[in-house]
Amino acid sequence: MPPNYAFGVRVLVVEDTVRVADAVADALRGAGHVVTVAPDFATASSELAEAHHDLAIIDLGLPDGSGLDLCRAARRYGAALPILILTAQNAVEARVAGLDAGADDYVAKPFAMSELLARVRALGRRGPRWTESLRWYGSLSIDRDRRIATVDGADVPLTPREFDIVALLAWRDGRVVARDEILEVVWGDATESASASLEVLIGRIRRKLGSAGTDEVIRTVRQVGYAWSRSRSKPG
């Protein structure tokens, strides 16, 4: 079954051991999450500063810096970003140091992948993207809990997949979302068939919202992806 936007989160995995990083990334993607892997402190710092992530999994033993320092940096870039420490340092002192540096949870190596996925699900529910289920864009409202969009109180007849695209773009607050990420989150793959379907659905969404009285909601960024073009505001 394709992953549903309401449950998948965008995860930054900071791990320098390729075997572990690949295993974690594969498991997370299989569970419907979008994953970026950073093999070192420098790459992870750039990701935290420049890209949107809903959750970070950070190994303490990085080749070019301290995972504890990265936790502190992550807190500066995103105060509400959930952080899970994944490390072989299992002593109580190491756990305390990680939590003091801003981590929310701690999994020691070796670990069961099922436990890691459960911790990710729990932390994902705490993240900022789960704190707000209803947004207004003038007369257009999007209710993520009820999975409906309305214009002036009238339902817009979006299919489940169309709604997932709208919610994904709207909750990024105007940031460009790459085509491949939309395909991963909404379809679960990036096949040519899914890519062609995305273009068709974007056109349908625009027509449906336009017919309901809301035009120019989704902006196309050529050769990159799409972005939400409306600023949040309640109807006057």
Q: Domain map of the chain by residue range?
A: 10-129, 133-228
The string of pLDDT tens digits covering residues 175-230 is 888 888 888 778 866 778 888 889 999 999 999 999 998 888 999 998 899 999 98
Q: Model-level pTM greater than 0.85?
A: no
Q: Which residues contact 29 (CB under 8 A, 6 or more apart)?
A: 35, 184
Highest-pLDDT range among 14-23, 65-74, 92-101? 14-23
Identify the band that residue 92 occupies on the pLDDT scale cut at 50, 70 and 90: confident
Q: Does domain 133-228 have CATH number 1.10.10.10?
A: yes
Contact status, residue 104 vs residue 123, Cβ threshold 8 Å: yes
SS3 call for 201: helix
Q: Same CATH topology for 10-129 and 133-228?
A: no
For strands 83-87 and 65-66, give the pairing. unpaired
Do residues 181 and 189 lie in contact, with contact meaning Cβ atoms separated by under 8 Å? no
3-class state of residue 227 by DSSP: strand
- The model's pLDDT over 132-168, given as tens digits with 9 standing for 90+, comes to 678 899 899 999 878 899 999 899 999 988 998 998 8
Assign a CATH topology to domain 10-129. Rossmann fold (3.40.50)
Total count of residues recorded for the chain: 236
SS3 of 96-150: the string is HHHHHCCCCEEEECCCCHHHHHHHHHHHHCCCHHHCCCEEEECCEEEECCCCEEE
pLDDT of residue 1: 34
